[in-house]
């Protein structure tokens, strides 16, 4: 028994050779059911006692400052604070959250940690239930960051680290009848922190559940369940290996399998310990094995997650001693023919990387939040999750089994901040620490059908420790493949080529040393000599803010090349933390917002959804690209389509197809039918015999929508699962011209201005600026700021290009725009002329846009002002050589701000950009002006709607072929703001109309990732729009 002083002096939190003391060997989760009925129904066991709730808490500067008396049961802790368990103490006002992507927030001197090492002392009294007396009692901490010592009734129990896996301690010899007391000393930093350098917040404390479990003296210690399918993937073998905590050939184990309706599948199968001879020394006396043939069980997959319930009961003679139960999914995972297959079918991974994060509870996840994530994932056509970058809460796996998600289960290892990255991975002194993290992961999660791949960790280079992990895992569980990205994505320690952020067609040169082997393009990987493994991107499509441009190109490649089997988007949820400013305004904070001087600012804000689980527009593009139905227009006379199902195991029996034909966005024909297409099959459908006669100047589209007929476990009836839009033949895709009034116009050219007026309107141009400075209709001023050139956008995260606070990437778009002066142009009107013409007045203005380097752009604006008050504007823009590609070529004007609706005929209803618009179909939409704004946590350009023919913003009507957005915020305010609470209402409504807009990019966020066809790098641009109040 150690004294408190010995615990402190040993400093095991700075010794990579010591990962634990007195921790029970890892095993599958145990519940200690009191009856087979309770086990079958997964009812809460009477042999479990939750120790969640309020604990007494005090934070010390370092472990050495903790007093020995504070772990004694009779210590008076009444003056201490209460803290909720589970939780992170930084979110309860203690210490501060720190966010880094790569660098350690402390000096990199492994295994040593900072002298100042915040240490939380937790204390809890609890009553042991009377029926626990005489039983073996253990306490399990499901997650503690980063290392902790445990005392029970003042006696030292043990030590553990690895913040993401359970630590279980045997308290049988420490507990007494009645009241007992636990003390837990948690260190923020330990040598284990060097292995947990993941791209996330550094948070501390007891952040997962704490549970007391009582089991009989002779009990089930572990259960392993393996399902094997025959060569036809029809019949199966159910292999159940049961480990007991004592050797006794008289012990008997019964196994019974139940279907989802509670019916026994094969009755009770019984086996005694020691029945199977292992080698010349004999059998295992503490194990039983059941190998049971099951005829044609229903199979488990993400599409159809059918679960059986396996009940394992221990007997001594006729006395039932113990009972455990597990959900079972009959499924087979294998790699054959260079393809990853589930139940014999090559899957397409529609995946996301998911951190465990909540804006108010940090790393503490509730069942409700987990379910919310699963529903959103399934509703947006995801079928897989990588548990980036650590084992998740045990409940997550049960829910993924139930609702149907494939999991890549990842070991809690990342050493991204090491130089080189593999320094610890290739150091045998750290081998035990690495092995503990993979062995305990596999032992805990081995029975989950949702886990189809093991991962050795993330961004830790490659070293001997990884090869040891790989070999052990292959031996322990040959039923699953293993993946690991480090060391080039294709080492001998991975069964799957698992690169991150590889482009589809273009190799990437190393950003530091161009002579280093580039990151190959996806298609190139497949042609490497002797390479036959499947390729699944462990990370791709960096969804940071306004991103995910050209995402459809990945999915075209996945569908064109069978060995490209999808990937995992980075990442699922913005890791913002709720914060309230001095004015009471709530916003989401990121790195640096808590005084954390070492930080990577908003690089943790790269999710498909906001922290509160509302969705980004980007997830809608992902949903469309990943949808399970593909459509092809076969002909228009008759109108015939082909529907192809990418489901591998399920038919479309619960889905219907609705279709409409629209004329300029208005429905003129429609129909719906039950969709009847089997898995992996296609169906040809004739919708109508002939198209309606096309009218001149009208646009026609065929719109397809697949939706659920009845509720499912993850969505309600009516939920849309797939959409597609085809453009149909039109007589002319031209703008319908307004019928112009022929009433009289008058015009005048003065020293300071030029005016044009007609019946009910008057327009004035300022000769100095060349811009309309007054537009009066029926005696009311309609403009605050007239239309003027706009070549700038508030930089996106992808435009900024770096995560480091102290570094600017000179190749990033924003840096190049700043260097060129595009965000601070000196605009000069060099000419304004006015011409009277039949039924209109023509005004021509010319501008130069200069910096100290010279003229960057020159524009000519030609206005045709008609007698009905409409103003047609032709903008001819010329760009000087050497100017970097522009963000946009368009105009901006300001309207009086009113709560007005915005209507348009174009792409929508959600935000879309030229390289991210497949999910945004052309139709007519109407939203409030505030709904046009996307409140990205790090403010940036947002809210664009593309390919618009007509728009109505309050009283302003716009026609042409353009993109547009409206906003209450000035561009320079958006560009300068670091958080949403810094956006200031301008008092006007900015309308930004673009003839051209650069793509947003998104292959990654640290290189210029806008594809060439979406760059504005020409020397001349021309567009036309018509405005009218």
Residues identified as active-site: 459, 539
Domains of the chain: 4-215 (2.60.120.260), 220-328 (2.60.40.10), 344-623 (3.20.20.80), 628-728 (2.60.40.10), 746-1028 (2.70.98.10)
Radius of gyration of the CA atoms of the chain, in A? 33
Three-state DSSP state, 704:
strand
State pLDDT tens for residues 985-1009: 999 999 999 999 999 999 999 999 9
Q: Has residue 463 got a pLDDT over 70? A: yes
Over residues 841-855, the mean pLDDT reads: 96
**CB within 8 Å of 883: residues ≥ 6 apart:** 820, 822, 856, 857
Question: What sign for the dihedral angle of Cα 851, 857, 858, 861?
Answer: negative
* pLDDT confidence of residue 489: 84
The Cα–Cα gap between 151 and 157 comes to 5
Q: What is the mean pLDDT of residues 560-583?
A: 98
- pLDDT exceeds cutoff 60 at 586: yes
Question: What pLDDT was estimated at residue 743?
Answer: 78
Tokens representing 115 are: 């002298």
pLDDT of residue 511: 64
Contacts of 285 (CB under 8 A, 6+ apart): 247, 248, 249, 273, 274
At 285, the pLDDT band (50, 70, 90 cuts) reads confident
Residue 51, token pair as written in the block: 């120790």
Beta strand 746-749 with 264-272 is unpaired
Per the CB < 8 A criterion, the answer to whether 1000 and 842 are in contact is no
Distance, in Å, from the CA atom of 406 to the CA atom of 386, rounded to the nearest integer, reads 8
Any alpha helices (H) in 56-133, and if so which ranges? none
**Residue 684 burial by CB count (10 A; 0-12/13-18/19+): exposed, middle or buried?**
exposed
Give the 3-state secondary structure of residue 929: helix
How many CB atoms are closer than 10 A to CB 852?
A: 6
Q: How many CA atoms lie within 13 A of 305 on its CB side?
A: 22
Mean pLDDT for 540-553 is 98
Stretch 690-710: mean pLDDT: 96
Question: Measured between alpha carbons, how far is 183 from 898 in angstroms, rounded to an integer?
Answer: 60
The whole-number average pLDDT for the span 1018-1023 is 98
Q: Is the peptide bond before 420 cis (omega within 30 degrees of 0)?
A: yes
Overall average pLDDT of the 295-320 stretch:
97
β-strands 205-206, 144-145 pairing: antiparallel
Question: Helix, strand or coil for residue 131?
Answer: helix
Checking if the pLDDT of 738 tops 60, the result is no
Question: pLDDT grade, residue 804 (50/70/90)?
Answer: low
Enter the tokens of residue 854: 């010279």
Provide the H-helix boundaries in 277-385: 367-379
Q: In the 8-state DSSP scheme, what is residue 767?
A: T
Burial pattern 422-443, b for ≥16 Cβ within 10 A else e, equals bbbbbbeebbebbbbbbbbbbb
pLDDT for the residue numbered 733: 46
pLDDT bin (cut points 50, 70, 90) of residue 1011 is: very high
DSSP for 582-613, written as a single string = TTS-EEEE-TTTTS-SS--GGGG---SB-TTS
Q: Are strands 339-342 and 345-346 parallel, antiparallel or unpaired?
A: antiparallel
Residue 737 has pLDDT above 90, yes or no: no
Distance CA 1005, CA 819 (A): 20
In this prediction, residue 853 carries a pLDDT of 86
What's the mean pLDDT in 704-730? Answer: 98
Share of the chain above pLDDT 90, in %: 92
Tell me which DSSP letter residue 318 carries.
T
- Residue range 539-555: average pLDDT? 98
pLDDT category of residue 490 using cuts at 50, 70 and 90: confident
Which of 392-396, 743-747, 858-862, 970-974 is the least confident region?
743-747
Q: According to the model, what pLDDT value does residue 803 have? A: 59
Q: What does the DSSP assignment read for 390-411?
A: S---HHHHHHHHHHT-EEEEE-
- Per-residue pLDDT of 587-617, as tens digits, reads 999 999 999 989 999 999 999 999 999 999 9
Q: To the nearest whole number, what is the mean pLDDT of the chain?
A: 96
- Strands in 664-752 per DSSP E: 666-674, 682-688, 700-708, 720-728, 746-749
**CA dihedral for 947, 950, 952, 956, sign (positive or negative):** positive
Q: Packing angle between helix 394-403 and helix 367-379, nearest 10 degrees? A: 40
Alpha helices (runs of H) in 76-125, residue ranges in sequence order: none
What digits encode the pLDDT tens for the residues 151-174? Answer: 999 999 999 999 999 999 999 999
Q: Please tell me the distance from the alpha carbon of residue 205 to that of residue 173, in angstroms, as a whole number.
A: 26
Rounded distance between C-alpha atoms, residue 182 and residue 166, angstroms: 17
pLDDT at site 518:
74
Angle between helices 617-626 and 551-560 (to 10 degrees): 10
Q: What is the mean pLDDT of residues 940-968?
A: 98
DSSP string, 188-254: S--GGGGGB--SEEE--EE-S-EEEEEE-SS-EEEEEEEEEE-TTSSSEEEEEEEEESS--TTEEEE
| Contact call for residues 771 and 765 (beta carbons, < 8 A) | yes
148 by DSSP, 3-state: which?
strand
Rounded mean pLDDT of 273-284? 77
Which residue from 745, 788, 751 is spatially nearest to 763, judged by alpha carbons? 745
460-471 burial: b if 16+ Cβ within 10 Å, else e:
bbbbbbbbbbbe
pLDDT at 957 over 90: yes
3-state secondary structure of 794: coil
Looking only at the bridges linking them, the beta strands covering 220-229 and 282-283 are unpaired
Residue with token string 């397409």: 348
* DSSP character at residue 384: E
């Amino acid at each position: 028994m150690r004294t408190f002083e010995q615990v402190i002096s040993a400093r095991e939190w700075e010794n990579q050779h010591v990962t634990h003391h007195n921790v029970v060997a890892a095993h599958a989760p145990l519940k200690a059911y009191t009856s087979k009925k309770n086990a079958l129904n997964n009812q809460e066991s009477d042999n479990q006692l939750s120790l969640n709730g309020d604990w007494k808490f005090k934070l010390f500067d370092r472990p050495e400052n903790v007093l020995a008396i504070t772990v004694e049961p009779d210590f008076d802790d009444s003056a201490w604070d209460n803290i909720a368990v589970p939780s992170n103490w930084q979110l309860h006002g203690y210490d501060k959250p720190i966010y880094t992507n790569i660098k350690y927030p402390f000096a990199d001197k492994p295994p040593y940690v900072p002298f100042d090492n915040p240490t939380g002392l937790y204390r809890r009294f609890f009553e042991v239930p009377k029926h626990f007396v005489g039983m073996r009692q253990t306490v399990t901490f499901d997650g503690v960051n980063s290392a902790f010592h445990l005392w029970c009734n003042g006696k030292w129990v043990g030590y553990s680290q690895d913040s993401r896996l359970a630590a279980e301690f045997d308290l049988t010899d420490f507990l007494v009848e009645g009241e007992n007391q636990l003390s837990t000393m948690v260190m923020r930093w330990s040598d284990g922190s060097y292995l947990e350098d993941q791209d996330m917040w550094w948070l501390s404390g007891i952040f997962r559940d704490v549970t007391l479990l009582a089991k009989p003296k002779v009990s089930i210690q572990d259960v392993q369940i393996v399902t094997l399918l025959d060569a036809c993937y029809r019949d199966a073998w159910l292999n159940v290996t049961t480990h007991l905590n004592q050797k006794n050939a008289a012990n008997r184990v019964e196994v019974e399998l139940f279907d989802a309706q509670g019916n026994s599948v094969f009755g009770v199968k019984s086996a005694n310990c020691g029945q199977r001879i292992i080698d010349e020394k004999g059998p295992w006396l503490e194990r039983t094995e059941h190998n049971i043939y099951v005829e044609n069980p229903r199979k488990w997959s993400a599409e159809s997650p059918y679960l059986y319930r396996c009940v394992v009961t221990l007997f001594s003679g006729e006395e039932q001693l113990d009972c455990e139960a597990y959900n079972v999914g009959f499924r087979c995972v294998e790699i054959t023919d260079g393809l990853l297959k589930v139940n014999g079918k090559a899957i397409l991974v529609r995946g996301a990387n998911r951190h465990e994060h909540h804006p108010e509870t940090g790393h503490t996840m509730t069942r409700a939040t987990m379910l919310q994530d699963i529903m959103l994932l399934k509703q947006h056509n995801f079928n897989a999750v990588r548990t980036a970058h650590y084992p998740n809460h045990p409940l997550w796996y049960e829910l993924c089994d139930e609702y149907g998600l494939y999991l890549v289960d990842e070991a809690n290892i990342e050493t991204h901040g090491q130089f080189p990255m593999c320094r610890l991975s290739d150091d045998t002194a750290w081998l035990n620490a690495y092995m503990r993290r993979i062995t305990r992961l596999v032992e805990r999660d081995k029975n989950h059908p949702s886990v189809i791949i093991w991962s050795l960790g993330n961004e830790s280079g490659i070293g001997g420790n990884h090869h040891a992990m790989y070999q052990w895992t292959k031996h322990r569980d040959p039923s699953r493949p293993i993946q690991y990205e480090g060391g080039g994505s294709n080492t001998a320690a991975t069964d799957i080529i698992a690169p991150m952020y590889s482009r589809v067609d273009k190799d990437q040169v190393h950003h530091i040393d161009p002579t280093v082997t580039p990151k190959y393009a996806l298609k190139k990987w497949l042609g490497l000599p002797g390479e036959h493994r499947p390729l699944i991107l462990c990370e791709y499509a960096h969804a940071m803010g306004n991103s995910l441009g050209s995402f459809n190109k990945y999915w075209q490649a996945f569908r064109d090349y069978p060995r490209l089997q999808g990937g995992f988007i980075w990442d699922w949820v913005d890791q913002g933390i709720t914060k309230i400013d001095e004015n009471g305004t709530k916003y989401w904070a990121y790195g640096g917002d808590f005084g954390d001087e070492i930080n990577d600012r908003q690089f943790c804000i790269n999710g498909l959804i906001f922290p509160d689980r509302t969705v980004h527009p980007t997830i809608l593009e992902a949903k469309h690209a990943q949808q399970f139905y593909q459509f092809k227009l076969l002909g228009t006379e008759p109108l015939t389509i082909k529907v192809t199902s990418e489901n591998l195991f399920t038919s479309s029996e619960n889905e219907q197809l609705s279709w409409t034909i629209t004329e300029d966005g208005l429905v003129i024909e429609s129909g719906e039918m039950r969709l009847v297409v089997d898995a992996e099959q296609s169906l040809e459908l004739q919708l109508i015999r002939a198209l309606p006669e096309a009218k001149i100047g009208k646009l026609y589209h065929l719109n397809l929508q697949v939706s659920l007929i009845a509720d499912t476990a993850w969505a309600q009836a009516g939920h849309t699962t797939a959409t597609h839009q085809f453009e149909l033949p039109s007589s002319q895709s031209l703008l319908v011209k307004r019928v112009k009034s022929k009433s009289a116009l008058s015009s005048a050219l003065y020293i300071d201005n030029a005016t044009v007026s007609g019946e009910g309107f008057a327009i004035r141009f300022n000769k100095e600026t060349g811009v309309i400075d007054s537009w009066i209709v029926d005696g009311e001023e309609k403009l605050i700021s007239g239309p003027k050139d706009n070549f700038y956008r508030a930089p996106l995260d992808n435009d900024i290009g770096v995560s480091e606070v102290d570094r600017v990437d000179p190749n990033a778009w924003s840096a190049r725009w700043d260097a060129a002066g595009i965000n601070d142009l000196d605009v000069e009107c060099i000419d304004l002329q006015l011409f009277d013409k039949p039924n209109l007045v023509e005004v021509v203005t010319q501008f130069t846009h200069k910096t100290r380097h010279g003229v960057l752009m020159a524009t000519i604006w030609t206005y045709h002002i008609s007698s009905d008050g409409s103003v047609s504007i032709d903008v001819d823009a010329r760009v000087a050589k050497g100017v970097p590609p522009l963000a946009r070529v368009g105009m901006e004007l300001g309207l009086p701000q009113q709560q007005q609706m915005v209507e348009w005929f174009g792409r929508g209803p959600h935000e879309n950009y030229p390289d991210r618009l497949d999910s945004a179909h052309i139709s007519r939409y109407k939203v409030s002006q505030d709904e046009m704004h996307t409140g990205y946590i790090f403010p940036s350009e947002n809210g664009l709607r593309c390919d618009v023919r007509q728009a109505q913003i309050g009283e302003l009507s716009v026609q042409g072929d353009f993109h547009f957005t409206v906003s209450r915020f000035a561009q320079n305010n958006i560009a300068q703001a670091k958080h949403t609470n810094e956006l200031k209402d301008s008092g006007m409504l900015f309308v930004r109309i673009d003839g051209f807009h650069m793509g947003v990019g998104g292959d990654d966020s640290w290189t210029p990732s806008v594809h060439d066809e979406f760059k504005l790098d020409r020397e001349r641009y021309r567009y036309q729009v018509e405005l009218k109040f």
